[in-house]
Amino acid sequence: MAGCTIASYQTLLYLFTFIATGEILCQVRNPERIQIPRVRSPVPIAATAQNNANVIGRPSNKQLANKQSSKSQQNSSRLLQQNPPAPPVSVKELFNSSSCVEPPFTCPHPRIQFYLYTRLTQNDPELLDVTDPESLYTSHFNPKHPVKIIIHGFQGGRNLSPSTDLRNAYFTRGNYNIIIVDYSTLAQIPCLNQVEWAPRFCGMCIAQLANYLADHPRGVPPDKLHLMGYSVGAHIAGLTSNFIKSGKIGRITGLDPTIIFYMSNNRSRDLDPTDAHFVDIIHTAAGILGQWGPSGHADFYVNGGTSQPGCASDSIIQTLSCDHTKVTPYFIESINSNIGFWALPCSNRFYFNLGLCNPPESEYVLMGEHVTHKARGIYYLNTNAKKPYAKGFVKPK
């Protein structure tokens, strides 16, 4: 029995290594300075504390009024990031949630942080404190600009690609409020139990952020939010919807949602069309590291959806990781592409490859950032093997 447990653990570890390798392969670190808003709010705290009444695990009014508590949390957060707890030393500890993350498991949690980036603060993100109404007042958040909430994958982080590349692409285009959910120290490789548990917990805390934005006089309602998640981050976006009480999320983009831990048909446990007004999914490693079946209003299968050009290598791990991670450069390029990733509706890969799907031009849609929210069903498209990946509008021969 113990042997089975260890064998299962090893299998899972290999799977997570695939995902982690994919994340690590494209790591880019950017130096930055964190801004913690300190200017006083012109609006009484008591007024906004009342609006914050529906948030999950919300702090008490005493906490809302206690700035010292907020400062302590920020200091604690920094210490945790600088000194993560020691990894577990036994199989039993691996399945103990407290082995890597310290209780209490309530939101907000110092290991799940929200960094606001605007065009003016690209290198000086502002840490949002959902217990403090002043935090949003004194930040550069502008409710007139689109709000993008980016959720990285396993072993990702705000200073790693694709978070960094997404920010750069959006700020090249215009003004946005980009909130990076950084939970990099929440789910770590040795703590397998947390890899299943952490996404639900993370979703709950992101819902607290969404409710904070919805209740705040200078915030936005959930239908103005665009959540996008890569790999397990896609499911976290879906799980977030389970905890939002103040409306429905406007859009969720799933970037090759991982299949690991998400192979059941329990829609409350993963990303599905009920989680937002519009859910678009891009598949690049379907059936291997990514989910196979369609799970959004619109599902895009790129180059067949499973194997990506330019990813072949001598290492099977590198090849599979490359297929999985390739989804992010496709989406990033879509933000500023002049020709776009045009896709056509088609029921399956076989018909697409044979050129049997030949719909009228009016049925083609753009994949990626500028997808029409009216898109429904399964779409296929091909890309170039190297940048620029977009082929523009291409009709089957």
Q: What residues line the site for Ca ion (CB under 5 A)?
A: 238, 267, 272, 275
Nearer to Ca ion, 88 or 238 (CB): 238
Distance between CA atoms of residues 24 and 13, nearest Å: 15
Reading the block at residue 244, the tokens are 């939002």
Nearer to Ca ion, 158 or 235 (CB): 235
Nearer to Ca ion, 246 or 307 (CB): 246
Q: Find, among 188, 214, 183, the residue nearest to 201 by Cα.
A: 183
The least distance separating Ca ion from the CB of residue 239, rounded to whole angstroms, comes to 7
Nearer to Ca ion, 184 or 211 (CB): 211
Cβ neighbours around 117 below 10 Å, total: 27
Distance between CA atoms of residues 323 and 158, nearest Å: 22
Nearer to Ca ion, 254 or 340 (CB): 254
Kindly report the CA angle at 235 between 232 and 237, in degrees rounded to 5? 115
Nearer to Ca ion, 271 or 286 (CB): 271
The least distance separating Ca ion from the CB of residue 108, rounded to whole angstroms, comes to 23
The least distance separating Ca ion from the CB of residue 203, rounded to whole angstroms, comes to 9
Name 55's Cβ contacts closer than 8 Å, sequence gap at least 6: 130, 207, 208, 211, 212, 215
The least distance separating Ca ion from the CB of residue 237, rounded to whole angstroms, comes to 9
Contact 48, 235 (CB under 8 A): no
The least distance separating Ca ion from the CB of residue 266, rounded to whole angstroms, comes to 9
Which residue, judged by CB position, is nearest to Ca ion in the bound state? 238
The least distance separating Ca ion from the CB of residue 243, rounded to whole angstroms, comes to 11
The least distance separating Ca ion from the CB of residue 238, rounded to whole angstroms, comes to 4
Name 232's Cβ contacts closer than 8 Å, sequence gap at least 6: 19, 153, 154, 187, 195, 199, 257, 258, 260, 261
Contact 314, 265 (CB under 8 A): no
Task: Find the helix packing angle between 316-325 and 327-336, rounded to 10°.
Answer: 30
Nearer to Ca ion, 256 or 275 (CB): 275
